[in-house]
Structure 1
Amino acid sequence: MQVSVKWLHDYIDFTETAEELADKLTMAGIPVENVIRADEGLDKVVTGRIEKIEVHPDSDHMVITSMNVGAAEPVQIVTGAQNVREGQIVPVAMIGAKLPNGQKISKGKLRGVQSNGMLCSAEELKMDVTALPKEQTEGIYILPEDTPVGIPASSVLGLDDVVLEFELTANRGDCFSVLGLVREVAILTGNEPKWPVIKVNEDDAAKASDMIRIGIQAEDLCSRFSARVLKNVKIGPSPKWMQQRLEGAGIRAINNVVDVTNFVMVELGQPMHAYDYDQIAGHSLTARRAVEGENLHTLDDSERLARGNELVIADSEKPAGLAGVMGGQESEVTDSTTAIVLEAACFNGASIRRTSRACGLHSEASGRFERGTDVTATIRAIDRAAQLLQEMGACTVTQGVVDVYPVAKEPVHVTFTAEQINSRLGTEIPAERMIEILEKLYFKVSPQEGGVYSVEVPSWRNDVTFMEDLSEEIARIHGFDNIASTTPRGNVTQGGQKPLQAFADRVKLALSHMGMCEEVSFSFTSPEIFDKMELPEDSSLRKAIPIMNPLTDEFPLVRTTLLGSVLENAVRNLSRKNEDIKIYDVAPVFYPKALPLTELPREVVKVAGFMTGRRNPVGWSNDSAPIDFYDAKGIVEDLLEMLEISRYQVEAGEYTAMHPGKTALFKKGKEVIAAVGELHPKVAENFGITKKAYVFEMDLLTLLKYTVAKSSCTSLPRYPGISRDLAMLVDENVSAAEIERTISRNGGKFFAGVTLFDVYQGKQIAAGKKSMAFSIQFQSNDKTLTDAEADEGFQGILEAVQKEFDAELRG
C-alpha cells in the first residue's frame, strides 16, 4: 500500500514533514517502509520560455536557444531536439542539476558553442511515458502555454509530492485506504479531518431496479452485493488531479470510469467494478460458485477453467468476472460503452485468497478483500463513484440502488475496565484518557456499573473483538515509548527435547558417522509413488490423507511411507550423475484412522535409507567393488549395536518395495524392528533405477522401546579364553542365525560368543547342501579354562546341531 502526502492533505491539514509523519505512524503500529520523493533529481529543473532560436554554425541538426528562466539574463542552451519552437515553455535543467536518470548537467561546448544547461524530455525526467500522447514522448517535453516561467518544473508536472510506502500487517485492512490512514493521522497530529461529502444527484428518470437484477447464491462467500446503473456514459481521460493521485498510489490511469473505480477503492478501501451494461446477458448479476470446468475469461485476456470452488459474478449465461480478483473480458468498459453497472460487494477473505493463489492472480482488489473490508461501505462506495463521474459530466445517474444484504452485520461489543487494561500493559493510564483515545478512534464507549465500559467497535475494525485488542489500541496511541520497561519475572525452567527427538538426533548422528548423508524431504506424496512401489490396491499405505490446498498438483497427499520419499531423492541424485549414493531420512509418516478425517491422524517417525554405487570412494588405494546386501545389512547391525539393541533375530522375509528373496527382517520376538533388502527389480524399473540398490526402513519409536536406557560396561577379561572351530554340512535353507541361536543356547556356562567365518557351496558339496564354519569362544572371568571345560561346552553344541539340523561334521 502506498499513498501520496498530497492525497492525505486533501482530507486533513498537518504541519509535520513526510519523515516526521512516517515516524509517528510507524510508532503507532502503522509501519511506513519507505518515504519516496517524486521530485528527486528535479531540484534544479525549472520552467523556461524559448525566446529565440538560431541555427548552429557548425551543425545541421543542432540549434542555439535563448531561454528565459526567470533570471536577469537569458540563458544560452544548445539542443538537438527537432520539436522546439520559439515561444514554447519547456523544462530546463540548470548547471549543477542531477537528473532522475543519473545525468549530471555542467557547463560545456557543443560543436564550439557554449551551452549552459539542457532542455529535458519526459524520459529524462523519468515521467510515465506510457500515459503521455506520442508527440510528448518524442523530443523535448512541451509544457502548457500558460505555465509561469522560472518556477520549479516539479510543481507543474505534478511531481512535487512525497509518497509513503506502507508495510501494513494483515489485520489492519482498514488502513488499506486513504480515509483509514487519515483517521490515524488525525489522532496522531490532533487535527480534525475533512471528510468528503458524498451526495448523488439521481438525474435520470429510469429506475436501477428495472434495469438490473442482482442476487447472491453463495451467502457464505458473499455477504453483501450492491449496484448502481449509470446512463449516457462518456468515456474519456480522467482529470489531471485524479491521475496524479492514482500515480501516487502506484496505479496507472486508463480512462475516467476505470480511474474512478480505482480512486474510490484506494480512497474508501472498498474495491468495486464497472460492467458494460449492454454486455451483461439477461441484465442480471449473481454471486455464485463457479461450475467445475466453466471457462473464466478475465481482463488480462487469459482463459482459465474453474475448479468449482471459486466465487464468480455471473450474468444469465456465463461468468462476468472472477469475484474480488479480476473482471471479465466480455463485460469490460470500452470506448463504445454508453451505460455501466457499478458493483461493490463484500466477499469472504479466505475464499478470495484461495482463488487468487490458485489462479496466480493478485490485484489491488484481492489484497483488500483478503484482509477484510467493511460490509457497510458498499453503497457509500458506489455513490462516491457515481458522484465523481457525474461531476466530470461523464454520466447521468438512474434512480435508486439495488442492494442484496441477506444478514445484516451486528455491531461488535467489547467490555473492559481500566484495571484490566493497566494490568495488562503495566501502566497507570486514567480511565478518562482511555475513553478519549477510543472515541478519537471512532469507538463508541458507554459506562456501565462497577467501572465497566462497553465499547461498540466501528464496522471497519474487523480486527477488534476482545479486551486485549482494545488494550493494544490504547497502548499504541498512548505511546509504546511512554510505557516503562520492566524485567520479565517468572520461574525459569531449562528447556529440552522430548525423548523421541533426542533419540532421533542420536540415530542421525550414528548413521552420519557410518558415512551416510541425511536428506530432507517434504511430507507430501502422490498416488503415482504408490504405483511405482507396486503397492497392492488394498494396501493400507494407499489410504493417504488428501490435502485441501496442495502446494502443487504433483503432491496432493500426505505420505504414509518414507521409502517413497527416499527413492524419489535417490532418483533425483542419479539423474544428476551422482551414482554413489548412501542417503537416509528420519521423518514422520501419517496414518489416518478413517477417511475422510474425523480426528487427527497417527504420526509415526520412520528411519529409511538407500544405498547404491561403489562401496568405497574413488581413490588409488580403493577398489571399485559395488555395494551389496551385506553392506546395507551391516549398516543396520551397526546402528542397532550403537543403540545397544541386542538379542534380536534375523530371518528372511518380505517387505514393501524389497526383493522377496533378498530381504532380512530384524525381530524382537514377533515384532519387526528393522527391514533391509535389495530394491525389488520391478520397483527399480518403475523409478528408472538401472543398477542394484539396497534399502532399509525402521520405526523410530520401536527402536527407542528396545534401546538400553542406561549403558553398562564390564571389565576386560583377566584370563585367556579358548577357541574351537566347528565346520558342518547343513541343508541350504538353514540360516546362520538359526544355528547361532542353537549354539548360544547349548554352549554351557563358559560360552562367550560365536562367529560365522565361512560359507561354501561347490563341487565338493552335495546338491542342496552348504558348508558353514563357526568360531566358538569359551572364557571365564574367574580362572583360566582347561581344555576339558571347553570340550564339555563344545560337546553340547555338537549334539544340539546334529539333532536340530541333521548336521554332518566336516574334518
Structure 2
Amino acid sequence: MKISVNLLKQLGKIDKSNEEIVTGIKEHIGEVESYQDLSKDYSDIMVAEIKEKKDHPDADKLGVYQLDTGEKKLVQVLAGDKTLVVGDKVAYLKPGAKVPYTIYTEEKPFIIQSREMRGLLSDGMMGSEKELNLGNDHTIVMRLPDDAPVGKPFAEYYELDDFIIDVENKALTNRGDLFGILGLARELTVIFGKPFVTPAWYTDDTKNLREEQSCLGLNIINDAEALCPRYTAIAMDNIVVEESPLWLKSALIKFGYKPINNIVDITNYISQLSGQPLHAFDYDKVISNDPNKSETANITIRMARAGESILGLDSKVHELNDRIMVICDSTNPLAIAGIMGGSETEVDNNTQRIILESANFDKTSIRKTSMMLGLTTDAGTKFKHALDPNQCIPVLKEAVRMIKESTTGTISSDIVDLYPTISEPREITLSLSNVNTHLGIDLQKDTIVQILKNLEYPIVKQDDDLLTVLAPTWRKDVTIKEDIHEDIGRIYGYNNIDSILPLRNLIPAKDNQIFALKKKIRQIFADSGANETDTHSFTDIPTLEKANLDADKAYKLKNALAPELSLMRTSLIPSLLVKTQMNLQEGYDKFILFEMNIPHIQGYEDENKLPKEDWHLSSVITSIEKRSDSAYYIAKRYLEKILSTLNIQDIEYTLLSEFSEENLSEEIKNSMYMFDRNTSAIVTAGDIVLGIIGEIDNKVKGNFKLPKYTAGLDININALNSIDIKNNKYTEMPKYPESRVDLCVEVNNDIQYKALYDSIYKDINNDDINGKVTCLDIYKESEKADTKRITFSLAIRNFEKTLNDKDIKSITQKVIKRLESNFQAKII
C-alpha cells in the first residue's frame, strides 16, 4: 500500500523527517517494501508560459515556441504539438532534467538535452501527461491552469514534491484500520508522542443530508445481513463526468491508482484516505437494465444463484455460485459485493445520475470469493481485513461533498442505511501490573493511560491497578486484554525493551519420528546410488490415466497454476514415471529414483474427517539392458535393506493377485493397478500393511515408453513408524564360517516363489544351523513356457562346528527332497 508522506503530515500534524517516518513504520507498524522521493523525479521541471509561436521554416510538423520560465531570457523549444497558443501554461523540462516516465530504467534514465532540429536549437522540452507520469495522453503537450505561477517548480505547484512509502500489506493482516492513510496517520502521530485529532467529517455519522430537488427513487433490500452488516447508499443528480482536476489525478497516481474520471477518482481517493471502499453505479443504467422496468432504482444484496455470471469492470465474464455475495437489481447481478463492479452499470462520460454505495461486508466471505474467482482488487483487499461499519456514513458524506464541489451534482435522495445490528465498542479491563509483567517493562500508570488516550481508547473506569477501556469499533483486532498490552508495547517501542531471557525449565525437544525415519531412509537410498526427486504435488488427468489411476479420486484445484497442475496427485509413482521417461530420453540407461512425500486421495479421511496425509516412500527402478533377472528383486533388495536397517521383522510378501481387496486400504486399492498383478506383492509386517512392491504394469510401461525391466515400490512411512520395533538381543559373534550353496530348480509356472522360499528357509533353520536364502535369478525360456527356473543361494552356518562337505550335502539333500516331494521340482 502506497502512502503519501505529505498527506500523513497534514492529517497527523507530524513534524518528522521522511527518514524518521520510515523508521517509525518499520519499528512500530510493519515492513516497508520501498520508498521513493518524487521530488527527484520532477526536479528541473518548471511552470512556463508560451510568449511567441511560429512555424518551423523547414519542418511542417514542428512549431517553434518562445517560453517564459521566470528567467530574464526567453527559452526556445521545438515541439510537434502545433495546437499550442500564446498564453498557454506548460511544464518545461530544461536541459539536464530527467523525464519522469520513459521506457528507460532507473539506472539509465532519459535525460533532456539541448539539440538541433532541422537547423534550429530546441533548448529543452514541454511535457505531455504521459511523459510527466500524470496520464496516458502523449499526443499533445499538457496544459496547466491559467493561474499557474511562471517559474515555480512544477513538483511544488502540483504537490509532487512528496515522499511515497510502500508498506507491505501482509504486515497489516489484522489491522483493517491501517488500510487507510487516516488510520496510519493516527498510528504514527501516537508513535511520535502526540494525540491524534480525528477530522470532524470522519466522526459525523448523522444522516443530515437533505434532498435538493425532486427525489430519485432508491429501494434497497438486504437479503444477506449475516455477510453484509451494513449497506448505505445515496442517489445524486446533475452529475457531469469529466477529467479530474490535476491535484486529484496527482494524488491518485501517488497512491498507485490510474485516474479515470472525476466520479470514480473521488471514490478511489476517499477509499485510500479512509480505508473504506466506495462504488458508484450509473443510476439510469441500473433502471434500464432491470427487467422490471421500474422508475425506481432497485438494489438487492443477496447470494448469487447457480448459473449466474457478470461482466466485470475488468472486461472478463465471472461465473458465480451460491457462495458468492452480489449486488443486484430486481433480478440480475450488478456487482460482485466488495470486490468489483459490473461493466453494465459503470460510470462513463454519459452518466448524469449516480447511486453512491458505502457498505460493510464480512471479511471471510470476501476472502473466499476472491480466492474462488482468482480476483484481487484494492476494495477486496481492504474488506477482507475487517473494516468498521460505523465509518460507512461519514465516508459516504465526505464523498458526496467532494462530488458536489467537483461537479454540478445535487443530492436527490435521503441516505438509505440498512444497519440492523449496530457495532458497539468492546469493554475490556486490564491490570496495569500485568501489562508491565507481560511486556517486561516498568511503565507508570500515567504513561499507560496517555498512550491509550492517544490511541483513542476511551477510559471508562480506573482505580489503583485496574483500567477499563473501550476498544474503538475500528479496532476489530482488539478482543482481549493481551491485544491492548501489545498496543502499549508497540507504541512504547519494542526496541526500548531490554532483552532478558526468561527463566524456565529446559526440556529437550523430541525428534519428530517421521522426519527421523525419512532421514534414515534417505541415507540408505543415497548410499545405494539412488537419486531423490522432489516433484510437484499437482498433476493432471492424462498423467493419472496413463498410470491406470482413477482421476475421480483426486482433489481438483479451484485456481490451478497451469492445466497440467490441476489435480492433487493420489500417488507419487506417476510423477516418478514421468521423470523416469525424461531421464531415459536424456540417455541415462539404468537408474533408481525415489521420493518421499504426501499423496492425497479424495474420500480417504482420518478420524477427524479431514483428508488423510500419510507420508509415502515411492521408488522406480529401470534399465534398458536385457537382463535375465526380474526387476522385482532389485526393488525387493532395496526394501529389505531398509527394513533390516530399521530392524523390522516378520515381513511377508503376498502375491497381489492372491490378496483380498477387502483387507486393503484405499491408498493400496488406488495404487495396485499400476503394478503387474502376477509379479507384484503386498508387503506386510504382522497385521500391518506397509505397501506394495513389484513390476510396473505392461500397459503403464507402454504409456510412459518405459523398458520391460521396470519395477517400483510404494510404502507408507506412517505405517512403518507405527510398528513396535524390538531391540536386538545380544548374541555372540559366530565362531564358525558359513558355507554357500547355489541351487537351481525347475518348477511349473503356477508354483509361487514364496512357497519355495519358505520351504528352503524352514529346512536350513533349526536349533543346530542358521541359514539365509537369496534369489539369484528367475528364468523362462519364453513367455509361453510352462516352467520356470529359479536359482537360490543358500548361506548355512552351524553354531557348534565348521560344516564339512558331508554336512552340507546332507542339508542340501533334505532341501531337495522336500522340494521334489511338495512341488515336483526338478533340480538342474
TM-score (norm 1): 0.85
Paired with 2:141 and 2:749, the residues of 1 have a C-alpha distance of 97
Contact 1:174 1:180 in 2 (8 A): yes
In the alignment, which of 117, 125, 128 is matched to residue 122 of structure 1?
128
Structure 1 residue corresponding to 2:371, chosen from 357, 360, 363: 357
Task: Show the counterpart of 2:17.
Answer: 17
**What SS class does the counterpart of residue 275 from structure 1 fall into?**
strand
Mark the CA change 1:260 to 1:502 in structure 2 (over 3 Å): closer, same or farther. Answer: same
AA of the residue aligned to 1:660: R
Q: Summarize the alignment of residues 766-777 of structure 1 with structure 2, pairs less than 5 Å apart.
A: 776-777=794-795
**Contact 1:614–1:625 (CA under 8 A) maintained in structure 2:** no
How many pairs does the alignment contain?
Answer: 787
CA offset digits 1:644-677 (Å, max 9, x no partner): 4456444533344211222234454565545322
Worse overlay, 748-757 or 27-36: 748-757
Q: Counterpart of 2:818?
A: 800
Go from structure 1 to structure 2 and tell me whether the alpha carbon gap of 1:437 and 1:243 turns closer, same or farther (over 3 Å shift).
Answer: same
* Aligned ranges 1:156-235 → 2 under 5 Å: 156-168=157-169, 169-189=172-192, 190=194, 193=197, 195-197=199-201, 201-207=209-215, 211-235=217-241
Q: 1:773 to 1:631 in 2, by over 3 A?
A: closer
Between the aligned partners of 1:727 and 1:688, the Cα distance in structure 2 is 35
For 1:636, give the aligned amino acid: L
Offset of residue 373 of structure 1: 1.3
Residue 582 of structure 2 is aligned to residue 610 of structure 1: no
Counterpart CA distance in 2 for 1:725 and 1:107 is: 96
Q: Which SS does the other structure have where 2:39 is aligned?
A: coil
Is residue 583 from structure 1 mapped to residue 593 from structure 2 by the alignment? yes
Post-superposition shift, 1:458?
A: 0.9
Identity across the alignment (%): 27
Secondary structure in structure 2 of the residue aligned to 1:11: helix
CA displacement at 1:164 relative to structure 2 = 2.9
Residues 614 and 627 of structure 1 are in contact (CA less than 8 Å); yes or no, is this contact kept in structure 2? no
- Closer, same or farther in 2 for the Cα pair 1:696/1:364, shift >3 Å? same
Shift of 1:438: 1.0
Whole-Å separation in 2 of the counterparts to 1:266 and 1:779? 85
- Decide which moves more: 735-744 or 463-472: 735-744
1:415-454 alpha-carbon deviations (Å, 9 max, x no partner): 2011111011111111221111111111112225663222
Q: What is the rounded CA distance, in whole Å, between the counterparts of 2:274 and 2:312 in structure 1? A: 25
Q: Is the 8 A contact 1:13 1:191 kept in 2?
A: no
Higher mean displacement: 696-705 or 433-442? 696-705
Q: Distance in 2 between matches of 1:572 and 1:207?
A: 72
1:54 Cα offset (Å) = 8.1
Contact 1:750 1:793 in 2 (8 A): no
Whole-angstrom CA distance in 2 between matches of 1:568 and 1:180: 53
- Report the secondary structure of 1:470's partner residue: helix
Counting only pairs closer than 5 Å after superposition, residues 240-255 of structure 1 correspond to structure 2 as: 240-255=246-261
Q: Give 1:293's aligned amino acid.
A: G
- Structure 1 Cα separation of the partners of residues 150 and 751 of structure 2: 107
Taking structure 1 as reference, are residues 428 and 91 closer, same or farther at Cα in structure 2, changes over 3 Å only? same
2:715 to 684, 693, 698: 698
Map Cα deviations across residues 454-490 of structure 1 (whole Å, 9 max, x no partner).
2211111111111111111111222223222223433
Conservation of the 8 A alpha-carbon contact between 1:415 and 1:454: yes
Task: Give yes or no for contact 2:195–2:454 (8 Å, CA) kept in 1.
Answer: no
CA distance in 1, matches of 2:23, 2:779: 85
- AA matched with 2:29: G
Quote the offset at 1:379 in angstroms: 1.9
- 2:452 counterpart SS class: helix
Q: In the alignment, is the contact (CA less than 8 A) between 1:751 and 1:793 conserved in 2?
A: no
Moved more, 647-656 or 35-44: 647-656
SS at match of 1:504: helix
Partner of residue 7, structure 1: 7
Superposed displacement of residue 385, structure 1: 1.8
Task: Report the Cα offset of residue 775 of structure 1.
Answer: 5.4
- Structure 2 CA distance for aligned equivalents of residues 34 and 776 of structure 1: 72
- Output the amino acid matched with 2:176: G
2:78 alignment counterpart: 79
Cα distance in 2, alignment partners of residues 626 and 792 from structure 1? 29
2:263 to 252, 257, 261: 257
Name the SS of the counterpart of 2:614 in structure 1: strand
Question: CA shift at 1:322, angstroms?
Answer: 0.9
Alpha-carbon separation, structure 2, partners of 1:152 and 1:113: 27
Q: Aligned in 2, Cα 1:377/1:535: closer, same or farther, shift over 3 Å?
A: same
Residues 579/437 of structure 1: CA separation in 2 closer, same or farther (3 Å cut) = farther
Range with greater deviation from structure 2 (295-304 or 728-737): 728-737
Q: Partners of 1:58 and 1:754 in 2: how far apart?
A: 102
2:760 matched to which residue of 1? 743
SS across alignment from 2:14: coil
1:181-212 CA distance string (max 9 Å, x none):
2322432442653615468652435456xx12
* Structure 1 unaligned spans of 5+: 616-622
Corresponding residue of 1:461: 475
* CA 731–525 in structure 1, closer or farther in 2 if over 3 Å, else same: same
Decide which moves more: 543-552 or 651-660. 543-552
- Cα separation, 2, equivalents of 1:453 and 1:520: 55
Aligned mates of 2:21, 2:174 — CA distance in 1: 21
- Partner-residue secondary structure (3-state), 2:249: helix
Distance 1:422 1:354 in 2: 39
* Distance in structure 2 (CA, Å) of the matches to 1:459 and 1:221: 18
Matched, 1:400 2:399: no
Superposition RMSD on alpha carbons, in Å? 4.0
Quote the Cα distance in structure 1 between the aligned partners of 2:775 and 2:349. 92
Residue 278 of structure 2: aligned partner: 272
Q: CA deviation digits over 1:126-183, x for unaligned, max 9?
A: 33242x5xxxx44655544443333223233442333332224211211111321232
Any conservation in 2 of the 1:93–1:120 contact (CA below 8 Å)?
yes
Q: 1:694 to 1:793 in 2, by over 3 A?
A: closer
Amino acid at match of 1:801: L
CA contact under 8 A between 1:93 and 1:119: conserved in structure 2? Answer: yes
How many angstroms apart in 2 are the aligned matches of 1:333 and 1:61? 37
Structure 1 residues 336, 702: closer, same or farther in 2, change over 3 A?
closer
The residue correspondences of 1:492-571 to structure 2 (distance < 5 A) are 492-521=506-535, 534=548, 561-567=571-577, 570=580
Give 3-state SS (helix, strand or coil) of 1:662's partner. strand
* Aligned pair partner of 1:484 in 476, 485, 498: 498
**Equivalent residues in 2 for 1:303-318 (5 A)?**
303-318=317-332
TM-aligned CA deviation for residue 611 of structure 1: 2.9
- Quick one: structure 1 residues 491 and 575, their matched pair in 2 at CA, closer, same or farther if it must change by over 3 Å? farther
The residue number in structure 2 matching 1:631 is 634
Contact 1:53 1:85 in 2 (8 A): yes
Distance 1:255 1:626, change over 3 A: farther
Q: Alpha-carbon deviation of 1:509?
A: 1.9
Q: Secondary structure at the match of 1:586?
A: strand
- Indicate conservation of the 8 Å contact 2:2/2:167, yes or no: yes
CA distance in 2, matches of 1:636, 1:286: 64
User: Quick one: distance in 1 between partners of 2:141 and 2:558?
Assistant: 57
Runs of at least 5 residues in structure 2 that lack an aligned partner in the other structure: 103-108, 658-671
Looking at structure 2, the residues matched to 333 and 771 of structure 1 have their Cα atoms a distance apart, in angstroms, of 84
The 8 Å contact of residues 613 and 626 in structure 1, kept in 2 or not, is answered as no
Q: Deviations over 1:58-115 (max 9, x none)?
A: 98888876654334x4155463556466555444444554454534456777788777
Distance 1:529 1:57 in 2: 71
Q: How does 1:128-147 map to 2 (within 5 A)?
A: 128-130=134-136, 137-138=138-139, 141-147=142-148
